[in-house]
A and B are shown apart, each in its own frame.
Chain A
């Protein structure tokens, strides 16, 4: 009996390894809060969310924060963090990371492997820009949640066959409050107009303010008509150009030899 167990154990283990979701091979710690931006509870919540998404999409989802990168290039830093900490699922180390450098206030979103199919350069930039206001306000947990939700949307769009790009931009779904406001407003306006139309049917009496009917035809004489030009002044104002600090890379190879692309900015 023992012999049988021993003989069967190794093959069973090997089979189990293949049956287990491949996510298990990646670094299970999806929240690497080295800069201490989140509370214990927030870390746990985010961890649950990100690992759930990793299971769903079979790609890695990482939230990382570091105290400083000592003046290094943030894109490289993000990629190195991802690679050296064992993130990425599958042979091309697919996944997406939100990298926050609190010291120099850098934010970076990088996608590796075939996650780049969904995360086009537009999508990387979009997610980074959506997350930046939360970081600027010091709401790091909310930033993480927003990153997770948006990444989910991005992968969904790609799965639907139409990934987010410059010709298919991400549109925030209209909130319930906004929809209610607009519909009630529209209802009010139309109801008011309908009421006024029917009410005006009932009124036919009003005081006359003019005597247009009594103008003697042909009696209008314009004896003086003078348009005198006085002066003119010219003002000018500068047209504001879209100022946003961008930095990103098209797909390139990281120091570990993986394919990656990302978008960086300040917050």
Chain B
């Protein structure tokens, strides 16, 4: 059966007909005229299907290690259930996740073997100094916070991360417009040109980290990035000595969605940045898929510090390799109120006086 070829109007979606008097394609609903070529190309673009991002996991067997000589044991916190691995000699008195002092020692059960580890580059002294620096120059930090903090509780922890490497393919289509305005005589003319802009290509990502520990706050770990993977080493149990380590308890599949979000966003941005020179740009299709994904399991060094202030727990983290220090600080509400209040009053009065001088 012969199929009647029907073109869809890019402006209103109606069925386009050939107008013999104009020798062009014309939409009878919105009266816009098109070249046949334009419509053919438009149809091609429209037919592209939308793909969901997927991961082809290069299956890496995650070996388990057997710790036969019993140097390493697992500590479990009674309060939050967080589990950490440390050597027997680490008299760990407080839980690195919730600061609870009760920890029970258990035998190391069913291990894990990371693909790589970045050893600690900065020591406890560095961490203490950085913490002090972090508190400096913060105008609205309560004075009491500076004096009350328990710096001695800084712990070095190897946090488990899933590292995602992949190639992202993007296929983006946008509706854009260019506007031209001019005046002739008594009239002002506005010409709007509509375009269909498409961009496609690929982009590669290397080792995007997502923290694999439920207990470790994701945003805290995100903020401590980036790590320099060129200093990563193959895993050796010996690196853990003197530090605490964590096992992953969120699977790589579960973490994948976080990685997807970040990678998609970056890819989209890179391609959208190539669309320039238009007044408006409305995305119509955004197909981003990932291929040849590789997932690695890594332990990355973090210095952690907990401190309690006015009943609230504050957690700080420092990148054990680069020294980047992060952590939210409490707000000195009375000080903030006084500052804002005085600025408000000062500016209001000044503005009022200036206005009165100029306009009265």
* Interface residues, chain A, with chain B CB atoms under 8 Å away: 171, 173-174, 179-180, 182-184, 186-188, 190-192, 194-195, 198-199, 201-216, 219-239, 241
Contacts and interface: CB of A to CB of B under 8 A. Distances in A.
Contacts of B279: none
A227 B41 CA distance: 11
Contact of A211 (B38, B218, B265): B265
B34 A215 contact: no
B17 interface: no
Interface of B: 10-11, 32-34, 38, 41-42, 45, 134, 137-141, 167, 171, 176, 183, 186-208, 217-220, 222-223, 225-226, 259, 261-263, 265-266, 269-271, 274, 325-331, 336, 339-341, 343-352, 355-356, 359-360
Dominant secondary structure at the B interface: mixed
B30 to A, nearest CB: 9
Contact of A216 (B11, B205, B259, B359): B205
A239 B138 CA distance: 55
A187 B347 contact: yes
Contacts of B33: 231
Nearest to B31: A233
Contacts of B138: 201-202
Contacts of B225: 208, 213
A211 B263 contact: yes
A237 B270 CA distance: 39
Given A187-B347, A205-B219, A222 B199 contact: yes
B343 A183 contact: no
A235 B194 CA distance: 14
Contacts of A228: 38, 41-42, 45, 195-198
Contacts of A213: 225-226
Given A204-B327, A230-B34, A191 B140 contact: no
B351 A221 contact: no
Given A215-B266, A221-B201, A202 B141 contact: yes
Contact of A230 (B11, B261, B347): B11
Nearest to A209: B265
B352 A227 contact: no
A202 B138 CA distance: 7
Contacts of B141: 202
Given A187-B345, A222-B274, A236-B189, A208 B262 contact: yes
B347 A190 contact: yes
A183 B137 CA distance: 31
Contacts of A203: 328-329
Contacts of B137: 201
A221 B203 contact: yes
Contact of A198 (B34, B140, B188): B140
B11 A183 contact: no
